[in-house]
Amino acid sequence: MKKLLGFLLPTITALMIVILVVFVYYPWVGEVFASRVKITEKKDNLTILQAKAQVLQDLDEKQVENYLLELELLVPSQPLPGYLLSTLEDDANLSGIIIKDLQYASTAVQKEKVVLGFLIEGDIEQQKYFLELLKKDAPLMEVSKVDLLKDQAEGALFTNSVLLSSPIQSIPESLSAIETPIEGLSTKDQDLLKKIRDFELLELGGEETKVQTEKPQGKADLFTL
């Protein structure tokens, strides 16, 4: 018995090794490795988020709002038939052409665009001017198809069958995941934004009406002369 007691310490040490390996080292090492993987992922994530947050912080919200308002006039979020037709009417009046067979129905709204077909009648110069005016119109209008039919009876007059399409771009209903990177306004975007002013936009607001804050006041003391 005394002999066996002499091996008590090595036995305890051996048991301790087993216990430590099974219950401490193995879970801890596993935890450290798992954390390392998570840290690498989080670092990547953080880089993306920091870049995104920086882009958003560098933007002037008021300016972006103004850009959006101006772009809304060029590329509306929903069909604006009244606005579209009145623009065409103005162009026709300015160029002197006659618009015929123009009808707007709900069927005109197709995949992210309003499609309008009509006839225009006028001489070459008038038609060229009309097309030139379309180029600068807001909302945007693309001539997607033209049938030029010379009116033999009228000599110099042409009847042109035009198919116009005006793009629509709806406002996004939901945003992508928070980790999805975004880009700020690039130089190309800035150049395009400068071109917005080339189009005939409606006046946006104008001078703000000043609210009269000072009320008319009478005498401080009514009983003095």
Partner 1 sequence: MRQWTQLKRTTNLSSVAISVILLIVTLALFLVRQNVLADESDLEEKVNQQRQIITQKKSLEGKLLSVKEKLQVLAAHIELSVNQREILADIFDLESENYHITKAVINEERLVEIEGEASDYQNIADFLLQLKQKDKYIDFRVKEISWDADSQSIDYKLKFTLKQ
Residue 22 in contact with partner 1, rule: CB under 8 A: no
Residue 38 in contact with partner 1, rule: CB under 8 A: yes
How many angstroms separate the first and last alpha carbons of the chain? Answer: 125
Residues 128-147 that bind partner 1 (CB under 8 A): 128, 131-132, 134-135, 140, 142-147
The owner of tokens 């607001």 is: 205
Spatial distance between the Cα atoms of 128 and 146, rounded to a whole number of angstroms: 13
Residue 105 in contact with partner 1, rule: CB under 8 A: no
Give me the phi and psi of 14, to 5 degrees please. Answer: -60, -45
Residue 193 in contact with partner 1, rule: CB under 8 A: yes
DSSP classification of residue 206: -
Among residues 18, 23, 35, 154, which is the contact residue for partner 1, using CB under 8 A?
35
Residue 194 in contact with partner 1, rule: CB under 8 A: no
Residue 94 in contact with partner 1, rule: CB under 8 A: no
Among residues 18, 22, 39, 204, which is the contact residue for partner 1, using CB under 8 A?
39
* Count of residues engaged in binding partner 1, rule: CB under 8 A: 74
Residue 157 in contact with partner 1, rule: CB under 8 A: no
Residue 78 in contact with partner 1, rule: CB under 8 A: no
Tell me whether residue 195 or residue 219 sits nearer to partner 1 (CB atom): 195
DSSP classification of residue 140: -
Residue 32 in contact with partner 1, rule: CB under 8 A: yes
Give the up-direction half-sphere exposure of residue 117: CA atoms within 13 A in the CB hemisphere: 7
- Is the separation of the CB atoms in 179 and 54 below 8 Å? no
Residue 112 is encoded by which pair of tokens?
A: 């992210």
Tell me whether residue 22 or residue 39 sits nearer to partner 1 (CB atom): 39
Among residues 18, 22, 23, 53, which is the contact residue for partner 1, using CB under 8 A?
53
Residue 186 is encoded by which pair of tokens?
A: 């690039």
The owner of tokens 């993306």 is: 48
Interface segment toward partner 1; rule CB under 8 A; list 62-70, 91-99, 100-108, 204-212: 62-70
Residue 25 in contact with partner 1, rule: CB under 8 A: yes
Among residues 178, 220, 222, 225, which is the contact residue for partner 1, using CB under 8 A?
178
Spatial distance between the Cα atoms of 135 and 143, rounded to a whole number of angstroms: 9
Among residues 65, 89, 90, 154, which is the contact residue for partner 1, using CB under 8 A?
65
Spatial distance between the Cα atoms of 165 and 145, rounded to a whole number of angstroms: 9
Spatial distance between the Cα atoms of 104 and 100, rounded to a whole number of angstroms: 12
Spatial distance between the Cα atoms of 162 and 120, rounded to a whole number of angstroms: 7
Residues 110-129 that bind partner 1 (CB under 8 A): 124, 127-128
